Amino acid sequence: MEYTQLTPGILVRRYKRFLADVRLASGEEVVAHCPNTGSMRAVNVPGCRVWLSPSRNPARKLAWTWEWIELPTPGAAPALASVHTGRANAWVEEALRAGRIAELAGYTTLKREAKVEGARLDFRLTEARQTTHVEVKQVTLREDDGHGYFPDSVSERGRRHLESLAARVALGERAVLLFCVAHTGIDAVAPAAHLDPAYAETLRRVAAQGVEVLAYGVSVTRDAGGAPCEAMLTRRLPVDLERLPPSA
């Protein structure tokens, strides 16, 4: 995915879930759309540098969309995290079509937003002998131990998706939970048992029942001014279903 005309600023605050005040380099303060319904734990950090994309729709109420935030990382270079949850499926689809997710290569057809009994899963991949269902979850929560965790708050919807994946396995199909890690400072992923123990317990159970759990991380290219200009899934990351953060 390529980004053009991103505008830098400093995050002032995020509020009412979908709004963010950002101070541009000119000193002007603008209101941007925040395309993220989650808690944004650890990525909603006022004072950090952010990048906004402009709207090309003159009728839209807000002219800006918050895309990226640059976060301090102790002992390392600052990390970039995407706050736009709508980008995750696009990254995954591009990686699937390019064959960069080795575990999901070789399919003949790809269907987005595939309906199954009682749910809608992000992708259905088919090939001659097998149907594979894939549910994508974006990960941006990096705790003090350096690991990434999902979810960043209680997610009953996420738990229901796990049950839907397990149901596909019971029917003889293949089912995959794919963590799309949209944070360049995360190198491993675990379920957030300290925030949503029910989700973590369900994930461990469905994994034992045959649901596969994968994690791939985004790599970001910056332009000469430091703005993100290209992002794609390239990094295969480990998943530890038993890990707890040090503070838990």
Per-residue pLDDT reduced to its tens digit, 168-188: 999 999 999 999 999 999 999
Of the two residues 66 and 1, the one the predictor is more confident about is 66
Inform me whether the pLDDT recorded for 247 exceeds 80.
no
Of the two residues 178 and 118, the one the predictor is more confident about is 178
245: pLDDT confidence band, cut at 50, 70 and 90? confident
Contact 136, 93 (CB under 8 A): no
58: pLDDT confidence band, cut at 50, 70 and 90? confident
pLDDT of residue 129: 84
pLDDT of residue 55: 87
Across the chain, mean pLDDT equals: 95
56: pLDDT confidence band, cut at 50, 70 and 90? confident
Of the two residues 225 and 75, the one the predictor is more confident about is 225
> Taken in order 158, 160, 163, 164, is the CA torsion positive or negative?
negative
Distance linking the first and last C-alpha atoms of the chain: 36
pLDDT of residue 74: 82
pLDDT of residue 248: 60
Give the CA-trace dihedral at 177, 182, 185, 189, to 10 degrees. -10
